[in-house]
Amino acid sequence: MTTGDDERERARRLAPGPGLRRLHLAVTRRLDGLLNGEHLGLLPGPGTELAEARLYQAGEDDVRHMDWAVTARTTNPHVRDLVADHELEAWALVDLTPSMDFGTAHLTKRDLAAAALAAVGFLTVRLGDRVGAYLHTPAGLRRLPARTGRPALYALLHTVLTTPIRPAPDAATLTAALTALASGQTRRGLRVVISDFLPQPGDDPEHPPWERPLRRLTARHQVLAVEIIDPRELDLPDIGLLDMTDPETGATHEIVLDRRTRQRYARAAAAHRAATRAALRRAGAHHLVLRTDRDWIADIARFALRQRRAAGRAIAAPGVRA
């Protein structure tokens, strides 16, 4: 199947239709109330308050919202959004680096990332809130403005599924993407980080560089970290000699997958997962693991149930953090 065929197939699987509507109902019923609650003041109107000023995004922002005072002071064009009282925004950081196009089950990791974003988005737009995204690609960080409504969510999912992913030298890191998300969206709300959290050469395996900016993000926002995993990243098959290509750099190596190599790989993969889990816990982010070979809706539902039970224990025992 060609790259174009892959993109059309991804788009077909999440195109607005009966299947997606059924998925929307199933996810909403099983996860309703986990990520955000009911609130008032969903639409801008009388009593609307001003949000913080930010840099003007050409082609995305309305020039009528230009903040001329800040623009004159900084010599850079700024806009100031109008946000209704109690209105919430959910922002997602979606990892679209080459490793996310990998998959050996019925889904690729990119497909699963789009599904996780859809689950969060369904709950958000159902309440009238807005969903925006930062796409972390090798070519740089792409910002998609926060909008409300199901058509806007479908367009966002289509962009996630069809954005070209090509290796690039000196590509931006997840650390830089998290820093940009934290500095670009300061109004309190839900932040979802969807990534495989694979390390880069030279990273500290015990303390990944993205931990510090993630901790700064959790200090102000509710953060959900969605770790995307494929089973072949945990355990290699016994198939002998083969060529393996690093999707991030394009480098190809000939490797013999004998028993010793497979055992060493499995230990390294388990250690990486444990280090990622510990770093996310230290940063204070909620951690959801989704695998390409599992029922991801059921995994999200189980995660939602655990979160609800933990919240109940925290209420029953004030002062005790669940």
- Position 214 scores a pLDDT of 96
If you average pLDDT over every residue of the chain, what do you get?
Answer: 79
- Position 286 scores a pLDDT of 92
Give the type of residue at 35.
L
Tally of CA atoms within 13 A in the half-sphere of 191 that contains its CB: 28
Residue 39 to residue 51: CA distance in whole angstroms: 18
- Residue 61 near residue 212 (C-beta atoms within 8 A): no
* Greater pLDDT, 63 or 17: 63
pLDDT higher than 90, residue 241: no
- Position 94 scores a pLDDT of 97
Using the 8-state DSSP alphabet, how is residue 222 labeled? Answer: E
| Residue extents of the structural domains in the chain | 3-39+87-316, 49-83
Q: Which of 214, 211, 231 is nearest to 223 (CA)?
A: 214
pLDDT higher than 90, residue 3: no
Residue 222 to residue 37: CA distance in whole angstroms: 13
Lowest mean pLDDT across 30-34, 43-47, 85-89, 276-280: 43-47
Residue 21 to residue 15: CA distance in whole angstroms: 10
Report percent pLDDT > 90 for the chain.
29
Q: Render pLDDT for 194-235 as a digit per residue (tens, 0 to 9).
A: 999 998 877 887 899 999 999 999 998 889 999 999 998 888
Range 157-185 average pLDDT:
86
- Residue 155 near residue 144 (C-beta atoms within 8 A): no
> CB under 8 Å to 322, separation ≥6 — which residues?
310, 311, 313, 314
Q: Render pLDDT for 135-164 as a digit per residue (tens, 0 to 9).
A: 999 888 999 999 988 888 888 988 998 898
- Position 311 scores a pLDDT of 59
* Greater pLDDT, 231 or 53: 231
The structure's pTM equals 0.74
Top-level CATH class of 3-39+87-316? Answer: alpha beta
Q: Render pLDDT for 121-138 as a digit per residue (tens, 0 to 9).
A: 887 777 778 899 999 998
Range 157-181 average pLDDT:
85
Residue 145 to residue 140: CA distance in whole angstroms: 16
pLDDT higher than 80, residue 59: no
- Position 21 scores a pLDDT of 61
- Position 48 scores a pLDDT of 43
